[in-house]
Amino acid sequence: MTRLALERVTFRYPATEAPALLDVSLEVTGGEVVALVGSIGAGASTLLLVAADLAPRVVGGRLEGRVAFDGEGVRGIVLPTPWTQLSGMAFTVWDEVAFGPANLGLARDEITRRVDRAIARLGIEGLVSREPTTLSGGELQRVIIAGILAMQPGLLLLDEPTAELDPIGARSLWELVRALAREGTAILVATSDLDALPAVADRVAWLDRGRLQAIGSADLLGSEALVAASLGPTVANVWHGARLPSPYPVSVAQALQRWEQR
């Protein structure tokens, strides 16, 4: 069941001629994780803003083509700058996480249930009484994600969700992303954490200067083209550096399998 469909989408920011997205078509289904990969300026963040209905509606600009959202649940976006996403209306983390569901007009019991569950899923029970502005970068990133999850989005849009997290925190977040997909959430994520993707992404979409160059399974990351574009996971780069034949393994597990079968 398609949750989000972009059909031949071209988008230009205000006062620019060069399109940030050019003729992009992409579908995301409930239960799947689609990862956007690309260099700086490739258009991944822009694509998420378009999918969230923030571009052009909030940021301005011109959109051609069609963006369809099936409307089941809300759309939630986690920006790469979590400190810009605080409500400014909450003096505790608990209230911050409750801000979204409260604005959906839910009953008090339902808000409490959702907020407590989101807080538990992000492992931030120890922060509930803290003032949001006193949190560290990693703590804040978890709080913002909890606030979005508390709205139970049918489509979850994540822009560099692990940028502020320590390695164990990042691993937990990727596990949470898989768990949300299993529960039926459609997830579109832009990330430079290429090493995490083989275990997380059902599909990988490669953006280059606004164009969708290729889309496929996570094994796409081990293709000659992606490695040449500096978008290969570390293991693929090592394989490439050793001049072993492509397609390259994308994870340690895959590398070990190849090595044992040689």
Partner 1 sequence: MGATVTSTLRFDRVSFSYGAVQALSDVSFALDSGERVALLGRNGAGKSTLLRLVTGLARPRVGTVWVGDWDTRDATPDRLARRVGSVFQHADQQLFARTLEDDVAFGPRAIGLAPAEVASRVARALAALELGEHVREHPYDLPPALRKLAALAGALALEPALLVLDEPTAGLDRALRERVNRALLERSAAGAAVLVITHDLTFAAESLDRALVLDRGRLARDSSLPGLLGEGAGGGGGGALEALGLLPPPVASLSAALALPGRPIRAADAARALARVAGGESRHLD
Q: What DSSP letter does each residue of 131-196 carry, written as one string?
A: -GGG--HHHHHHHHHHHHHTT--SEEEEESTTTT--HHHHHHHHHHHHHHHHTT-EEEEE-S-GGG
Bridge partners of 207, per DSSP, are 212
Q: For the CA atoms of 207, 210, 211, 217, what is the dihedral angle to 10 degrees?
A: 20
Q: How many CB atoms within 10 Å of residue 226?
A: 25
Report the nearest approach of partner 1 to the CB of residue 260 (Å): 9
Interface pattern 17-46 for partner 1 (x via CB under 8 A): ----------------------xxx-----
Tell me: does residue 259 bind partner 1 (CB under 8 A): yes
Segment 198-237, which members bind partner 1 (CB under 8 A)? 230-231, 233-235, 237
Residue whose C-alpha is closest to residue 254's, from 222, 207, 212:
222
- Kindly report the length of the chain: 262
Closest to partner 1 by CB, 112 or 237: 237
Closest to partner 1 by CB, 97 or 226: 226
Segment 110-149, which members bind partner 1 (CB under 8 A)? 136-139
Tell me: does residue 108 bind partner 1 (CB under 8 A): no
Kindly indicate which of the ranges 18-26, 59-67, 100-108, 254-262 contains the residues binding partner 1, using the contact rule CB under 8 A.
Answer: 254-262
> Looking at 29, 65, 240, 247, which residue binds partner 1 (CB under 8 A)?
240
Report the nearest approach of partner 1 to the CB of residue 219 (Å): 16
Closest to partner 1 by CB, 73 or 82: 82
Please state, in angstroms and rounded to a whole number, the distance separating the CA atoms of residues 158 and 163. Answer: 11
Measuring CA to CA, how many Å separate 126 from each of 4, 39, 170? 35, 36, 18
End-to-end CA distance of the chain: give it in Å, rounded.
41
Q: Which residues bind partner 1 (CB under 8 A)?
A: 39-41, 80-81, 83, 136-139, 160, 163-171, 192, 194-195, 230-231, 233-235, 237-244, 252, 255-256, 259, 262
